[in-house]
Structure 1
Amino acid sequence: MCLFQYEEDPEPEERIPAGLLYVPVRPGDAAAAVIRLFRTPLGARTAVGFTRRERLVSTLGAGQGYIRLSESVLRELCDPLGAALITIDPMLSAPAAVATTRRPDRVAARTA
């Protein structure tokens, strides 16, 4: 039983198991699938799980592959990879960053 309830509390006192999650994966070697890891807005590595397939599709697209894992198994698999955080049902995903090269011929002119 939760002792206190705060409307703005981002994390409940007691964690309720989410059941099996839809975990995004990418193709790996041979027939293996590799869990996709993401970054939080502050740059920390995180694994992502969705409670419903529809949420995964609305966030990452219909072509995104997935596997079903419990939160504890997901945490156990991702912790050695440096992803100690698990994000459940994120609402949006930013596109992957594209590397750009600076072009010295396009340096902005400074005016006084």
Structure 2
Amino acid sequence: MSPVDYSEDPEPSERVPAGRPGLLFVPVRSGPAGCTARFFRTLLGGRTAVGFTSAEKLTAVLGTDQACIRLSEPALRALAAPLGVTALTIDPPLSAPAADRTAAAVRERENSWRRWHPQHVGALRVTSAAAVVACLNLLIG
């Protein structure tokens, strides 16, 4: 009987330790190169990757319109590591609502430098005219 070489044994069928989730539902957003994982902020402002153990939990926190992919915990960590994201949050209980970009755009327009007052425009014209006259005086002598 020849000796048995066990160096090429297949991986065990159960790769996840007991008590740990298998594949996670990871929220993604679409971009020009396909979909990318969404990263979130913790209460203290640090960046974290987020995964959910069920689609229902993801929907309860992020809503029905949130797209997701299935990734294992090690795959999600490997995806986040090059970006400096080392924290992983599984099944966060809540999420802050997305910023209302329409209201932010209105506020930006209202506080914009483009919102001119007629007196400001007149002051610029007078200042510009004075500068032109000063330059002409220098050229003429």
TM normalised by structure 1 equals 0.71
- Partner-residue secondary structure (3-state), 1:21: strand
2:27 pairs with one of 24, 28, 32: 24
Quote the Cα distance in structure 2 between the aligned partners of 1:39 and 1:85: 10
| 1:16-57 Cα distance to aligned partner (Å, 9 max, x none) | 431000000000114x10000000000010010000000000
CA deviations 1:46-69 (Å, max 9, x no partner) are: 010000000000000000000000
* Corresponding residue to 1:37 among 39, 44, 48: 39
Structure of larger gyration radius = 2
Match of 1:89 in 2: 91
TM-score, normalisation: structure 2: 0.57
Aligned length: 89
Percent identity between the two aligned chains: 56
What do you get for the CA RMSD once the two structures are aligned? 2.3
More helix by share: 2
Q: Residue 120 of structure 2 corresponds to which residue in structure 1?
A: none
Q: Tell me which of the two structures has the higher relative contact order, counting C-alpha pairs closer than 8 angstroms and 6 or more residues apart.
A: 1
Q: Is the 8 A contact 1:27 1:33 kept in 2?
A: yes
In 2, Cα distance between the equivalents of 1:15 and 1:89? 18
